[in-house]
Amino acid sequence: MTTDVDGDTAELSRPARRQAEIAAYVVKHGSVSANDLVEAFGVSVMTVHRDLDELERQGVVRKYRGGVSAQPTSVFESNVAYRLNTAHAEKAAIARHARAMIEPGMSVMLDDSTSALSLVDLFEDITPLTVATNFLPAITKLAQLRDITLLALGGIYSATHDSFGGMPCAEAVEALHTDLLFCSVSAVSPTHAFHQEEEIVLVKRAMLRSARTKVLLVDHGKLQRTALHRLAPLTDFDVVIVDEKTPKDLIEALRDHGATVEVAEL
Amino acid sequence: MTTDVDGDTAELSRPARRQAEIAAYVVKHGSVSANDLVEAFGVSVMTVHRDLDELERQGVVRKYRGGVSAQPTSVFESNVAYRLNTAHAEKAAIARHARAMIEPGMSVMLDDSTSALSLVDLFEDITPLTVATNFLPAITKLAQLRDITLLALGGIYSATHDSFGGMPCAEAVEALHTDLLFCSVSAVSPTHAFHQEEEIVLVKRAMLRSARTKVLLVDHGKLQRTALHRLAPLTDFDVVIVDEKTPKDLIEALRDHGATVEVAEL
DNA sequence: CGTTCTTATCGTTTTCTGGTGTTATGTTAT
DNA sequence: ATAACATAACACCAGAAAACGATAAGAACG
């Protein structure tokens, strides 16, 4: 068991992992040819093309004759962060911690984040429950469960995030008011939460207005980073849950700025 | 090729078929024990219980210690009609016929029907396209396709139909206006379209208001039947598409009452 | 017009997941 | 307390689907 801090690409099918790695490669090099990738990844040219098609479908790269180029970083970051979903164990710990806040009968809103997805796995035992989300994988999972009222938040599908967004989604959110909101973001500074894409920010803001208790799920790695759009001050959240691997001084920094921080134990 | 009018349970996974048969058995006998089913279907107790769990999740039966009992017929009928989705070939033919009405660039709305689902399989070649639907299997499929703008119509999930409904869904529908609507119903008389459940009727009515051209997809078998709630007169639809196996006199009856009927060839 | 790049098609391999029974453990009724 | 019933937890199998490469056909570029 190696301790590769962030390269924890486990729990991902081989092609999916390779695709994420290709995406990283493309962004690093700006633009590359298919043959470069054949060499770099030791697979046939056909496979490379198939991978690139998929990445293009997700909006991460642009194909042209002779190669591919990277898309605006914002899209890329969002997507790759999501795809190579690192720190699975930490997220599970955060989910377990968050779970304690949920009582049977409550209504819960989830955003499109893998952190939220971990939480879904724990819902089976907290029934009955009403869950609202715009995240397709979560919807699929929840549809299988008994005694859960699933409220799908529709909208325009984004292949990059595998979720629904846009104005229709924001409107759907605004028509609700749940007891709890669990959400995540792409970056957290000592004072604010950030996200790469404006579209997503719109929906998340709407969610923040539509819940009584707001919880931010943050695995370390999100911290110390920053992203284009400022979503909200951390004080807008009732609780910020971080994992154990978060440096102590960073936690202190958050608290110094008035945030309520809880640490999830592994 | 036998001519079993309605018992065409082909194209259904073995467990799914057995579950549908169990459902029918339960409804017929009012209430039965797990062991009865073990004998009747020649599978282990465990499997029976698993099947019953699934049926309960779909809202078709109620479990209690010692056996299961049937739920109100309306739910049962809706569900079983959906599950044992008969006449696959006819639906494909209807879908092919409907496809001719769609041009690249259009916006299309689909309801939660297997007929509509067949149509989705043909969308890949009519891009770009905007598709709105409240049917989870359709959403899942469409999310995979390129060059299709998917607009998910959210709402309260119904395990019986595998789709979203209720007021939130109706509102989402009302916010739109598409070029086309393809929908189906559970029963069609010479003058009207019917459906079993009020909830569904609400959504379908909203859909009818939100599309310019409305198309009703009807496989024979839907005809001559009737159901609880009257959805709309057939003249509200711009076109009614039936399959080749529809008796000629029934088609005439529809036309006599003013409906525009087209016959899909196999 | 040929070279290079891309896509389509097919057959093979591999991987997965769905479906199942068995055994063991838990739960409810009598 | 005990018997009947229900669930949980494995392990297994099979069929299906994904993944891949080789080859061939097709498009864009110079």
> What is the layout of strands, in order, in the sheet containing A211-218?
A261-264, A239-243, A211-218, A178-183, A107-110, A129-133, A148-152, B155-158, B163-165
- pLDDT > 70? residue B83: no
Residue of B nearest to A57 (CA): B146
CB-strand contact B16/C, under 7 Å: yes
Inter-chain contact B151–A171, Cβ cutoff 8 Å?
no
Inter-chain contact B151–A157, Cβ cutoff 8 Å?
yes
The pLDDT > 70 percentage for chain B reads 91
Q: Which residues of A touch B164 (CB under 8 A)?
A: 152, 154
Strands B129-133 and B148-152: parallel
Indicate the pLDDT class of residue B10, thresholds 50, 70 and 90: low
Q: Cβ distance B148 to B120 under 8 Å?
A: no
CA dist B187 and A241 (Å) reads: 52
The predicted pLDDT at position B75 comes to 66
Q: What is the pLDDT of residues B217-245, one digit of tens each?
A: 998 878 777 888 999 999 999 999 999 99
CB-strand contact A15/D, under 7 Å: yes
Q: Where does residue A5 fall: left (phi above 0), alpha (psi -120 to 50 degrees), or beta otherwise?
A: alpha
CA dist A108 and A180 (Å) reads: 5
The pLDDT > 90 percentage for chain B reads 57
The predicted pLDDT at position B3 comes to 34
Q: What is the CA radius of gyration of chain B?
A: 19
Give, for all 266 residues of chain A, the pLDDT tens digit. Answer: 333 333 445 577 889 899 989 998 998 888 899 999 998 999 999 999 999 999 988 888 999 998 899 877 666 766 766 666 677 888 889 999 999 999 999 999 999 998 898 899 889 888 889 999 999 999 999 998 888 999 999 999 999 899 999 999 999 999 999 999 999 998 999 999 999 888 899 999 999 999 999 999 998 878 777 888 999 999 999 999 999 999 999 999 999 999 999 999 87
What is the rounded average pLDDT of the residues B100-120? 93
Indicate the pLDDT class of residue B82, thresholds 50, 70 and 90: low
What is the rounded average pLDDT of the residues B106-118? 93
CA dist B125 and B129 (Å) reads: 10
- pLDDT > 90? residue B151: yes
Q: Which residues of B touch A143 (CB under 8 A)?
A: 136, 157, 159, 162
The predicted pLDDT at position A1 comes to 36
b/e burial code for range A105-129 (CB count within 10 A of at least 16 → b):
ebbbbbbbbbbbbbbbeebeebeeb
Q: Which of A170, A140, A177 is nearest to A155 (CA)?
A: A170
Distance from the B118 Cα atom to the nearest Cα atom in chain A, whole angstroms: 20
HSE (side-chain half, CA atoms, 13 Å) at B77: 14
Query: Which residues neighbour A242 within 8 Å (Cβ) at sequence distance 6 or greater?
Result: A94, A218, A219, A220, A223, A251, A254, A261, A262, A263, A264
CA dist A236 and A215 (Å) reads: 9
In whole angstroms, D9 C1' to A93 CA is 24
Q: What is the pTM of this model?
A: 0.89
b/e burial code for range B144-166 (CB count within 10 A of at least 16 → b):
ebeebebbbbbbbbbbbbbbbbb
Query: Which residues neighbour B90 within 8 Å (Cβ) at sequence distance 6 or greater?
Result: B219, B220, B243, B244, B245, B264, B266
B153, B163, B174, best to mutate vs chain A, most A CBs in 10 Å = B153
Other Cβ atoms within 10 Å of A208 Cβ, number: 20
Task: Choose among A57, A140, A172: nearest Cβ to B172.
Answer: A172
CA dist B261 and B246 (Å) reads: 11
Distance from the A168 Cα atom to the nearest Cα atom in chain B, whole angstroms: 7
Structure tokens at A68: 């591919």
- pLDDT > 80? residue B254: yes
Q: DSSP letters along chain A, please?
A: ----SS----SS-HHHHHHHHHHHHHHHHSEE-HHHHHHHHT--HHHHHHHHHHHHHTTSEEEETTEEEE--HHHHHHHHHHHT---HHHHHHHHHHHHTT--TT-EEEE-S-HHHHHHHTTGGGS-SEEEEE-BHHHHHHHHH-TTEEEEE--EEEETTTTEEEHHHHHHHHHT--EEEEEE--SEE-SSEEEES-HHHHHHHHHHHHTEEEEEEEE-TTSBT---SEEEEEGGGSSEEEEETTS-HHHHHHHHHTT--EEEE--
Three-state SS string over B193-254 comes to EEECCHHHHHHHHHHHHCEEEEEEEECCCCECCCCCEEEEEHHHCCEEEEECCCCHHHHHHH
Task: Choose among A136, A150, A154: nearest Cβ to B172.
Answer: A154
The predicted pLDDT at position A2 comes to 34
A151, A161, A171, best to mutate vs chain B, most B CBs in 10 Å = A151
What is the rounded average pLDDT of the residues B145-156? 94
The predicted pLDDT at position A218 comes to 93
User: What is the residue-averaged pLDDT of chain B?
Assistant: 88
With 0-12 / 13-18 / 19 or more C-beta atoms within 10 angstroms meaning exposed / middle / buried, residue B101 is: middle
Distance from the B112 Cα atom to the nearest Cα atom in chain A, whole angstroms: 15
Distance from the A74 Cα atom to the nearest Cα atom in chain B, whole angstroms: 21
CA dist A250 and A261 (Å) reads: 11
Three-state SS string over B55-82 comes to HHHCCCEEEECCEEEECCHHHHHHHHHH
Q: What is the pLDDT of residues B162-215, one digit of tens each?
A: 999 999 999 999 999 999 999 999 899 999 999 988 889 999 999 999 999 999
Using the structure block, give the residue that is written with the tokens 């041009």: B103
H or E segment to which residue B131 belongs: strand B129-133
Nucleotide closest to B49 measured between CA and C1': D6
Q: How far does Cα B102 stand from its chain's mean position?
A: 21
Q: Cβ distance A78 to A186 under 8 Å?
A: yes
